[in-house]
Amino acid sequence: MSANDWLGIDLRHLAALEAVARTRSFGRAARELGYTQSAVSQQIAQLERIVGQRLFHRPGGPRRVEPTEAGLLLLGHADVISATEEVTVGELVALGERVTLIDSDHAVDGGDTHWARAPLHVTPVRVGRNVVVGANSVVLRGAEIGPNAVVAAGAVVRSGELSGGWLYGGVPARALKPLGKVGSAT
């Protein structure tokens, strides 16, 4: 599968993925999203074709559906990611609710220029393997988070490198403590 195959993913696919995974039901997800059950099923089927993997185990009947390993992996990447050029998210990354990763911002200087006409500054964002980013966190352009790191909920990660294996928190995010090797993912 090439990177261009992923261009067919759209927000409806990701919303359906998240809702089905959370409710464990195509019907409940459809009611919550205001869609028909067949529309949600079609969105998941399209997403499965795009990624080339089954995303849910469907036992049939009243039993709950469960995300597959591929579904869990994709869920970890289904948050707000705004990439003007490059946002790289490693394997086994968990992004909490309302996490924002953004590789650009406008050079607003307080002058009379409308913000949308101000120059755009772009620097890649890189999140390493097995990183957890807590809910409501913001990762700004130029940030690099090393493997096996944890970013606490509500943190703001500015440009620069955060070493792997540490817990970070605060505004701006700073190192709080080194993490142990409970179940390291290598």
Query: What was the pLDDT predicted at 105?
Result: 82
Q: Tell me 119's DSSP state.
A: P
- Structural fold of domain 3-74: Arc Repressor Mutant, subunit A (1.10.10)
- Helix or strand or coil: residue 157? strand
Q: What is residue 127's predicted lDDT score, i.e. its pLDDT?
A: 94
What pairs with residue 169 in β-bridges? 174
**Reported pTM:** 0.59
| List of long-range contacts for 52-56, beta carbons under 8 Å, 24+ apart | 52/1, 52/5, 55/17, 56/20, 56/21
Mean pLDDT of the chain: 85
The more confidently predicted of residues 4 and 158 is 158
Domain boundaries, the chain: 3-74, 79-178
* pLDDT of 71 above 60: yes
Classified by CATH at the fold level, domain 79-178 comes out as UDP N-Acetylglucosamine Acyltransferase; domain 1 (2.160.10)
Mean pLDDT of 146-162: 96
Give the chain's largest Cα–Cα span.
Answer: 62
DSSP label of 3: G
